[in-house]
Amino acid sequence: MNLEHSIAALATRIRSAASITALTGAGVSAASGVPTFRGSKGLWRNYAPEQLATPEAFREDPRLVWEWYNWRRELIAKCRPNAAHTVLAAWSRRYPRFHLITQNVDGLHELAGTQDVVRFHGSIWEVLCWERCPGSPERWRDDRVPFEEIPPHCPHCSGLIRPGVVWFGEAIDPEVWTRSVEAASCEVFLTAGTSAVVYPAAGLIHEARSRGAFTVEINPDLTPNSGAVDLTIQARAEEVLPAVDSLLLS
């Protein structure tokens, strides 16, 4: 099916759907200037995830880990939502039973105005006390860019704070997982901008399909999920989503 027909097919499905869920990955922020993790210019080409995005890495060298997150925060602070974020935000307001689950921690969906984002991997703009000290909340927003000191410290116990993101080997927040699985019960489940290699996020589209959803993947590249979905749209999210939306509005 060519791109124009695929876009029309997705618009037809969304137009008649009573419930829609979108799962996004780093690819939807690529056009905003936020580096992806994999692929030719991905972050994991220059850094070893095990050295930066695990509790063991943080225990071993909190300064190194915070230098990397501080660099990413400074970069992301200069980035703005792109057309893909804008369309998904419009759908979150237009369709009562629209859910957005994102693997991204950059906050660009919220900045675009998306309601009630399910942050599957947390937020780079939130922190928590590494010791989980009794005086500190479970997590809190900390927008400082850059931090005055690296690694930054907990204001409640002077111990270390850590980024409020889910690291490799860590469990997804149970409430986030429950909301995500509930959102998989929908008529249309689409993924955009994810390489579909990190579980359990990558498994949600299979869960949706098993519950009868029409499944769609939007990604210029093929992924391990491409052969299992109903519609594969091999194009950029910031191109596809506005094109689908203009058909919905026409």
Nearer to ligand APR, 154 or 244 (CB): 244
Sign of CA dihedral 93, 215, 13, 234: positive
d(CA 87, CA 70): 29
How are the residues of the chain apportioned to helix, strand and coil, as percentages rounded to the nearest 5? 40, 15, 45
Nearer to ligand APR, 155 or 169 (CB): 169
Segment 120 to 149, residues that bind ligand APR, using CB under 6 A: 121
In the bound state, the residue with its beta carbon closest to ligand APR is 27
Tell me the residue type at 8.
Answer: A
108 binds ligand APR (CB under 6 A): no
CA distances from 234 to 16, 85, 195, 240, 244 (A): 23, 18, 12, 9, 14
For the window 53-92, what string marks contact with ligand APR as x by the rule CB under 6 A? ----------------------------------------
**R_g of the chain, CA atoms, integer Å:** 18
State how beta strands 118-119 and 122-129 pair.
Answer: unpaired
199 neighbors 177 (Cβ within 8 angstroms): no
Instruction: Report the residue from 6, 21, 36, 70 that binds ligand APR according to the rule CB under 6 A.
Output: 36
Nearer to ligand APR, 122 or 154 (CB): 122
Nearer to ligand APR, 31 or 128 (CB): 31
Tell me the residue type at 237.
Answer: A
| Residue 121 annotated as catalytic | yes
Residue numbers of the site for ligand APR (CB under 6 A)?
25-27, 30-31, 36-39, 42, 103, 121, 192-195, 198, 218-221, 223, 236-238
Would you please indicate which residues are annotated as catalytic (active-site) residues? 121
